[in-house]
Amino acid sequence: MKRTPTIWVMAGGTGGHIVPGLAVAEALRGQGYNVRWLGNPDRMEGRLVPPAGFEMVATRFAGVRGKGLFQQIKAPFSLGASVLRLFFIMLKDRPAVVLGMGGYVSAPGGVAAWLARVPIVLHEQNAIAGMSNRWLARIARRVLTGFPDALPNGVWVGNPVRESMTRVESPDVRYAQRQGPLRLLIVGGSLGALALNEVVPDALGRMPESSRPTVMHQSGQVHIEALRQRYAQLGVKAQCVAFIDDMASAMAQADLMICRAGAMTVSEVAAAGVAALFVPFPFAVDDHQTANANYLVEQDAAVLRQQTELAVDWLARWIEVQDRKDLAAYAIRARQFAKNDAAIEIAQHCVDCMRRSS
């Protein structure tokens, strides 16, 4: 009886690597392939991957960028031990292809795959590639990117987004149906964005009440009570939430979104088609969030403002002069630059690479 091919997905550390990895894993499983996940069971992937029905291959290798001297000295030994262990697991498991979706776990997994002569397919989500992917791109059989020109010889396929984002009604229809105050959505991510939590309420507080938009502000669990108190003290009505379970619905209802510029956020802004003011996280490695945002900003499909320039007075004036018709134009242009079939394309590249190697 013919053995069903197994494909490994390597991703870990942050949702920006794990969520798109899960989308591809589900696409591969839907085509009948066995999928195993290489990651650290003690990190975020350990909470997200098993409930999705994927078996994990554990590695506890940790990244070293920004770590102390001792960790950097220790890293080569830790990497070598992880590579050796994963090499023998691969010889036993015989994956047909290994898909690297970024994060520190890709380093030992990629090297082990190369030593075991397992084809590597690499996907880089950000507009500026991370350290692991820059190195692994040299030995990968195929290199895919979420944004154009992120890696030499990369094939631009986009970033896998939640299917619900692609089903959002067209922005030209959504915006045309609306009347009344603008609808503002502020998204700080799972941990929240303290700068947005401080500046946005103050800016709204300086606007005349008649000019204020309706407000939904996602802050992260840590900051939720302080944020509610801040809005209350300013006399600004706002729906403050720690998390948003249905982000597609929240984005579909918004006229304007103020947010960071992680790879998945930018890709989802395009997929849903919503006007966005990007405020990149200023301490992101290689300032990759600015590069991500520029994918839409350079097409006049979004607006960018650096955190150092996000003054309360400026933001208050800027929000007050926004017009729903102009915001609709941003949203329509953003959707024109969406690549909504990324998960299927990445899965197909894995299958194609597997067939060429068999």
The model's pLDDT over 212-227, given as tens digits with 9 standing for 90+, comes to 999 999 998 888 999 9
Q: Is it true that 6-161+340-356 and 165-337 share their CATH fold?
A: yes
14 annotated binding-site participant: yes
16 annotated binding-site participant: yes
258 annotated binding-site participant: no
What pLDDT is stored for residue 211 in this prediction?
95
**Neighbouring-strand partners of residue 239:** 216
d(CA 140, CA 145): 13
Could you tell me the pTM of the whole model?
Answer: 0.90
CATH of 165-337, one of 3.40.50.720, 3.90.1150.10, 3.40.50.300, 3.40.50.2000: 3.40.50.2000
262 annotated binding-site participant: no
What pLDDT is stored for residue 163 in this prediction?
87
Tens of each residue's pLDDT in the chain, 358 residues: 578 899 999 998 888 899 899 999 999 999 999 999 999 998 889 999 999 999 999 886 665 555 555 455 555 656 788 889 999 999 999 999 999 998 888 889 999 999 999 999 999 999 999 888 899 999 999 999 999 999 999 999 999 998 899 999 999 999 999 999 999 999 987 666 889 999 999 999 999 999 999 999 999 888 899 999 999 999 999 999 999 989 999 999 999 999 999 999 999 999 999 999 999 999 998 999 999 999 999 999 999 999 999 999 999 999 999 999 999 999 999 999 999 999 999 999 999 999 988 7
According to the CATH classification, is domain 6-161+340-356 in 3.40.50.2000?
A: yes
146 annotated binding-site participant: no
What pLDDT is stored for residue 255 in this prediction?
99
Write down the domain spans for the chain. 6-161+340-356, 165-337
What pLDDT is stored for residue 71 in this prediction?
52
Q: What is the pLDDT of residues 2-30, one digit of tens each?
A: 788 999 999 988 888 998 999 999 999 99
What pLDDT is stored for residue 188 in this prediction?
85
6 annotated binding-site participant: no
What pLDDT is stored for residue 245 in this prediction?
87
What pLDDT is stored for residue 222 in this prediction?
87
189 annotated binding-site participant: no
188 annotated binding-site participant: no
